[in-house]
Amino acid sequence: MKMTSLCYLEQNGRYLMLHRTKKANDENHDKWIGVGGKFESCESPEDCMRREILEETGFTVTDFRYRGIVTFVFNDSICEYMHLFTVTAWTGEQKVCDEGELAWIDKDALFSLPMWEGDRIFLRLLDSDAPFFSLKLCYREETLTQAVLNGKPISLS
């Protein structure tokens, strides 16, 4: 089991997105995702989110919302619990990220980018200001085979 955080920094109708291009053996290679990563020992979801944002962007978070938890199941064996956040305020200067290129992307343009299918589901939930949610996403290789929102299956079409 893996525990991670993922965060979308929001500003002027845009999200700060990370195009994952620099790490070897990256399961997210060539995809666009938010900022985040794996928990370190004894971290809370908020601790992990704040540390990952500082490490990857140079920003210190000053205002955020904990939006939901996403359970990923890969090939019926690998399980990841991802804690999802949005951030609306921070201090500091943006730095170069060692995992890929950071870019501010208009929310309207997000879905034209290469990303995991399940990310499109939770990005829509964020955009609609959905209350705190639990989303389960099951993948076979890179194909989304099942999505369950708050205990109820949702259509993948």
Give the pLDDT score at 28: 65
Torsion of CA 27, 29, 34, 40, to 10 degrees: 40
Give the pLDDT score at 45: 98
Taking residues 125-131, what's their average pLDDT? 96
Q: Which residues contact 141 (CB under 8 A, 6 or more apart)?
A: 75
pTM higher than 0.85: yes
- By C-alpha distance, which of 127, 129, 132 is closest to 14? 127
Residues 14-67: pLDDT tens digits?
A: 999 999 776 666 676 678 999 999 999 999 999 999 999 999 999 999 999 999
